[in-house]
Structure 1
Amino acid sequence: IAESATVATRFPLESAQDPDVGTNAVSSYRLSPNSHFSLDVKQQPDGKLFPELVLERALDREEQPEVQLVLTAVDGGSPARSGTAQITVQVLDVNDNAPAFDRTTYKVKVPENTPVGAVLLRVNASDPDEGPNGETQYSFGVHTSDSVRRLFTLDPRSGEVRVSGALDFEESRFYEIYVRAHDGGVPEMEGNCVLQVQVEDANDNPPEVLLTSLLNPVPEDTPPETVVGLFNVRDRDSGANGDVSLEISPDVPFAIRPLQNHFSLVTQKSLDRESTSQAFHYLVLTAEDGGSPPQSSKVRITIQVLDANDNHPVFDRPSYGARLVENSPLGTLVVKLNATDVDEGPNGDIRYS
């Protein structure tokens, strides 16, 4: 009997046979106590009795797949004699149960550097129906976005959800995957759940140094602590992975002054071009984040020191002497003076007077 059978449906049973006649023949039937069926006995004009099972309460195969009954036939003799028959009612399955997930919402955290092919988790739905009615397959729900379908795959048989594309915390930190489970019944029934994927940051981005302003060349008479450059640093990672420190190469007359993620480049001491014989300074700025292991990047800057007229001409001797014959003609060389100036360009060009 199908579990979808309606209450009050009748199911005829075979009559009992008694070779006696008259009052000694079958005179009544009775049914063992049960929660689903009652017994109705119809009598033909010839007095023959026909028993029928009457469904009193709906069947549910998942609750009770089989009902055991005992039908007893009693004759009218004295003493009365009886016979019994065991009735086994097999409840046939109907696709009346939808697949049900063991939870309505699954939550999982996954690092953004999770390799392609890695299993996130396995969703699971069960269906108490029998045969194809209880065979469950999985698929993405209609509300699952195309971006999710590119990044994740779902095994229709096992319910395994795998990574199929490169995750990027900086691009998207959260995904919702709608999963549908349907059975093989006709018509099919389905259940649904949501998988929430939280992408965790990995230190996969190096810090960047952005030059916003630079005074170049720098006059050599620039006083110490003068700001000659401004920088910003940024790191697309989050937390400690995005905390950036900035250092400058040693042995240069410049220093870095921090202010959160902004930095200024200042002169640290005199830029005397003549004493150091350096018209150019080669700086290396190194930015490093707080990840483990840390990532870093370098920026190279060349700063030219511009000459200032901070040196006066110097003669090669403090005094000169010369002897001159009194009848020397006009234009005779008396003495050659020589002065030098370590400054550059026009600042070092010398005129005598």
Structure 2
Amino acid sequence: MDTTVTVRFVTGGDFPHIRIKEKAFTFPENQPTNTVVTKVTGSSPRAGSLSYYIASGNLDNAFHIDQLSGEMSIKKPLDYENIEKYVLWIEARDQGFPPYSAYEKVEITVLDVNDNHPTFEQEPFHAEILENLSPQRVLIVSAFDQDSGPNGQLEYAIIEGNKENSFSINRATGEIRTTRPLDREKAAQYSLIVKATDRGSAPKSTAVKVLISVLDVNDNAPRFSKIFSATVPENAPVGFTVTRVTTTDEDAGANAISRYSISDASLPFIIHPSTGDITISRPLNREDTDHYIAKQMNGLVTYNISSGNDDGLFSIHSKTGVLSLAKPLDYETKQKHELRVSATDGGWIAKTSYVTVNVLVTDVNDNPPVFDPVEYFPVVQENVPSGTTVVKMNATDKDSGPNALMAYVIQSSDSDLFIIDPNTGIITTQGFLDYEAKQVYHLTVKAFNVPDEERCSFAYVNIQLKGANEYVPRFVSKQYYFEVSEAAPKGTVVGEVFASDRDLGEDGIVYYLIFGRSRKRGFSINKKTGQIYVSGPLDREKEEKISLKVLAKNEGSIRGADIDEVLVNITILDANDPPVFTQELYDVQVNEGLSPGGLVTFVSAEDSDSVPSWSRFTYAITANYEKSTFTINPQTGQVSVASELDRETVPVYNLTVLAVDSGSPAATGSAILIVTLEDINDNGPTLETTSGEVMENQRAGTTVITLSSSDPDLAPNQGPFSYSLVSTGAASSYFTLSPSGELTTSREIDREQISDFYLPVIIKDSGTSTSAFRTPARMGHSARITPGALTACANLDLQVQSVIYFPFTSNTTTDVKKGTYTQLAHKCVIVLGQEKYLLLSNWRGVVTQAYSGHCQKQFAVRVTNWEVSAVMQINLSCLL
């Protein structure tokens, strides 16, 4: 489905004006609701009062603005832990249709208040530790506080249950350590109360129970409860129970279980290893022995490590059997050593016994944490939510157990926008990151053992912010106005538009383009600089004002809301354009008999320039020929004949007509005028054979000559020609002329009587005019015949009173045979022109002046003589 969107561009002065005294505010997060933030005012030059709205940025609808008064207040409780900063866009909208709006930005920063209690990660905490160990770490109690700054910094303390001050706690890290070796036999469990307190001005605290169980070590020997004695009859049977011995052991569990044995195997008694019951093992004889005493028999025993001590780490005292270290142990190298120890008595035949001694190496904190790698380069998008993970630091400690416990801390930083979890090493954001404010952050992170902070290492974190295309390009002006001459060549810069983008980097690069129908208006734009330049022909007379729609956008496809548009108004200034003829080519046909002054055609031009001197013009004809054949009226454009035309001389005229305006310099327009002359029968045939000879005394019918003629006119005013003799005088009786031009004798000729004949010949072409000739015939031994021509055209310049004879005849004719002259008669008729200017004499062939005054006329007179008809063209000029 197609949708039509109508976009109207208006001048910047029509938009509302919005006023806010302060545009940045700070409130604590416990600021009461309904607190007034600011009051927005404004005015509209167009349509009445304004209405106010929060256009964007009002997260959770935390703020409210009164549409009429413009008073903005806090609507809901603020929570620093949720939103630290609000960027509100305030809209002022007028009452017009469609409504126009103006916008202004207001920034509200929320300050943290100590409104959160510390929270422990678990409750209660449990830990176990072996008795008799040297002071060491037991566990770490960890709590967190959602507040920031001092309000979120915690201190730990043991407030109850610390008998004999057996434990200490690190106030900063929460690490609980023993202060001395513990004795399970004195206290098997400790119940501590640990309190976490923040550092706020009104500190808040939370307590948690920590249960520490002391694990037993077999550090107490069994003790016989008394000295046992018994009496038994000597005849008591084997297996008779003599007595039961008992022991006590302060240890617990398996460490408190005693096993019994009689060291002297020669005695007639055995003891149950578990119950301690002593029974008779063989018959007794009082006479041999009346009492028995079980006692230790000391002997010389030698001790030795027989295997498992390849590295020489251990030594044993050969007499006492004390096993001791010869070299330092390394828990990280080997955690358990299995030694085989031998004990050899000092008897004649020595007896040896073996025992396996397992030495378990316990770890001590002898290795610092080590980062791998030591430098980190995380990339974070700007505007990510607070708490977004940036990077996880990775440090390892070769120690184990409590000795491998470590904590992380940001040792130094150029910003407080990052925090690190001391346990996991995860660095997260706190607050909002703005690429436009800062692009790179440098942190130094420390990993250390707890609580031995001296065993530590450092890593370096270079956080590169990645900009988000959060800002839209905005034109600095609501509209642009430029001027350019319509004569400006292609490439001429008209003006420059500029749009700013608050983004940095590639997201802040602005590209410009002319879109829609504006692209076909004769202008283009440099997409990088915003320069608008001429790219096509301009014509102020067709379009004086041009409006272009220019778009500013970031790189990539247009998504709709990420662009800005502006209207560019260009006024086309007038230039001295040449006049323009209504036709580029005029093609006319005129009769070649058209007299000077006769109308050929009208040409017409137009000039729409606004300057009067540029729009006034005159017509002219370029001098393409030796004489001015045509003339043009400089004001009307009427083209007329200036001199007589002759198609046979110039059949076609290719003229350039000009229209020259009055500018300085003058601008000239031109057109082509082609004048084609139409043929008239204005040329009589020309006799190409004008004389001939014939022998005297030839019989009648002898061919004298065959006449041939030519005519420069075009068909049908050319041949075929027809010939005839003028029947005058005696000469015509001697010859016969056929229509095809064959001249033959009609009787015998005697040269002594007539030696030359002059025969008038009439030649008729296929047109309307005729030429007459006289053919002379001279007789010696032969007769010579010469035709004489009658001319059909003449020019006349008449001054006062003039006489002209028709040039194709004479006043008299000669009768060759009689030698006399006879006056010929003419019939003269004016076929073009008015009779009041001329008087014709039919007898004399005379033209006389009959009009006094100024005249310049063209006439045509048809003259008929001897059955010969011809048209004479007369150009008459007179000035009295």
- TM-score (normalised: structure 2): 0.28
Q: Does 1:145 align with 2:414?
A: yes
247-256 or 87-96: which moved more?
A: 247-256
CA distance in structure 1 between the partners assigned to 2:484 and 2:372 by the alignment: 74
Shift of 1:84: 4.0
Q: Which amino acid aligns with 1:140?
A: I
Note the residue ranges of structure 2 that are not aligned, 5 or more in a row: 1-132, 135-262, 265-295, 575-608, 616-880
- Structure 1 letter corresponding to 2:517: P
Residue 120 of structure 1 is matched in structure 2 by: 390
Q: Distance in 1 between matches of 2:385 and 2:556?
A: 20
Q: Output one character per residue of 1:4-31: Cα deviation in whole Å (capped at 9) or x when no partner.
A: xxxxxxxxxxxxx99556xxx2242212
Question: Residue 51 and residue 271 in structure 1: after superposition, are their counterparts in 2 closer, same or farther (change >3 A)?
Answer: same
Partner of residue 288 from structure 1, selected from 553, 577, 594 = 553
Moved more, 235-244 or 120-129: 235-244
Secondary structure of the residue aligned to 2:368 is coil
Equivalent-residue separation in structure 2 for 1:259 and 1:76 (angstroms):
106
Change in CA separation of 1:99 and 1:153 when aligned onto 2, cut-off 3 Å = same
- Secondary structure, counterpart of 1:51 in structure 2: coil
Give the whole-Å Cα distance in 1 for the aligned partners of 2:556 and 2:504: 9
Contact kept, 8 Å, 2:446 with 2:456, in 1: the verdict is yes
What is the correspondence of 1:62-211 to structure 2 with a 5 Å cutoff?
Answer: 62-112=332-382, 114-142=384-412, 144-146=413-415, 149-150=416-417, 152-186=418-452, 188-209=454-475
Determine which structure has more spread, i.e. the larger CA radius of gyration: 2
Find the residue that maps to 2:364 and give its secondary structure: coil
* 1:270 counterpart residue number: 539
**Does the 8 Å contact 1:169/1:199 carry over to 2?**
yes
Moved more, 57-66 or 82-91: 82-91
| CA positional deviation for 1:131 | 3.7
| CA-CA distance at 1:193 after TM superposition | 1.7
Which letter does structure 1 place at the counterpart of 2:394? N
- In the TM superposition, residue 200 of structure 1 has moved relative to its aligned partner by 3.3
| Alignment check: 8 A CA contact 1:224 1:269 kept | no
- Residues 129, 292 of structure 1: alpha-carbon distance in 2 compared, 3 angstrom cutoff: farther
| SS of residue matched to 1:32 | strand
Q: Cα distance, 1:238 vs. partner?
A: 3.9
Counterpart contact for 1:209–1:287, Cα < 8 Å: yes
Aligned to 2:512: 245
Instruction: Select which of 223, 240, 258 maps to 2:526.
Output: 258
Q: Which digits, 9 at most, give the CA deviation of each residue in 1:45-79, with x for residues without a partner?
A: xxxx4233342221112222333333322111122
Secondary structure of the residue that 1:269 maps to in structure 2?
A: coil
Q: Counterparts in 2 of 1:33-72, with a 5 A limit? A: 33=307, 34=309, 35=311, 36-41=313-318, 49-72=319-342
Do the aligned residues in 2 keep the contact of 1:253 with 1:270 (CA within 8 Å)? no
Q: Which amino acid is 1:178 matched to?
A: T
Give the 3 Å change call, closer, same or farther, for CA 207–186 of structure 1 in structure 2: closer
Tell me: CA distance 1:271–1:166, structure 2 relative to 1, closer, same or farther (3 Å).
Answer: farther
Q: Structure 1: how far apart are the matches of 2:344 and 2:484?
A: 126
1:70-97 Cα deviation digits (max 9, x unpaired): 3322111122123344444343332111
Would you say 1:310 and 2:579 are equivalent positions? no
Unmatched tracts of structure 1, length 5 or more: 3-16, 42-48, 314-353
Q: 3-state SS of the aligned residue for 2:328?
A: coil
CA offset at residue 204 of structure 1? 3.2
Contact 1:207 1:244 in 2 (8 A): no
- Between the aligned partners of 2:517 and 2:448, the Cα distance in structure 1 is 68
Secondary structure of 1:250's partner?
A: helix
The amino acid that maps onto 2:552 is A
3-state SS in 2 of match to 1:132: helix
Q: Which residue of the other structure, out of 228, 231, 254, is the alignment partner of 2:497?
A: 231
Three-state SS of the structure 1 residue aligned to 2:428 is: strand
Contact 1:202 1:241 in 2 (8 A): no
Instruction: Choose the corresponding residue for 1:26, options 281, 300, 305.
Output: 300
**Which residue in 1 is equivalent to 2:61?**
none
Name the % identity: 26
C-alpha distance in structure 2 between counterparts of 1:84 and 1:223, whole Å? 114
Does the CA-based 8 Å contact 1:249-1:285 persist in structure 2?
no
Query: 165-174 vs 26-35, which deviates more?
Result: 165-174
Question: CA 1:310/1:119 → structure 2, altered by over 3 Å: closer, same or farther?
Answer: same
2:611 maps to amino acid? D
Contact 2:550–2:565 (CA under 8 A) maintained in structure 1: yes
Q: What's the Cα RMSD here?
A: 4.0
Aligned partner of 2:526: which letter? P
Q: Which structure is richer in relative contact order (CA contacts within 8 A, separation 6 or more)?
A: 1
Cα distance in 2 for residues equivalent to 1:131 and 1:259: 65
Contact 1:108 1:197 in 2 (8 A): yes
Change (3 A) 1:240 1:184: closer
Distance 1:38 1:137 in 2: 39
After TM superposition, give the deviation of residue 298 of structure 1 in Å. 1.7
Change (3 A) 1:164 1:187: closer
Q: Match of 2:395, as an amino acid?
A: A
Preserved contact between residue 475 and residue 500 of structure 2 (Cα < 8 Å):
yes
CA distance in 2, matches of 1:197, 1:293: 31
CA contact (8 A) 1:234 1:261 kept: no
Once the two structures are TM-superposed, the CA of residue 181 in structure 1 deviates from its matched residue by: 1.4
Q: TM-score by structure 1 length? A: 0.63
Q: 1:71, 1:87 within 8 Å by CA — same for their partners in 2?
A: yes
8 Å CA contact 2:336, 2:360 repeated in 1 = yes
Q: CA–CA distance in 1 between the matches of 2:557 and 2:384?
A: 17
Distance 1:55 1:223, change over 3 A: closer
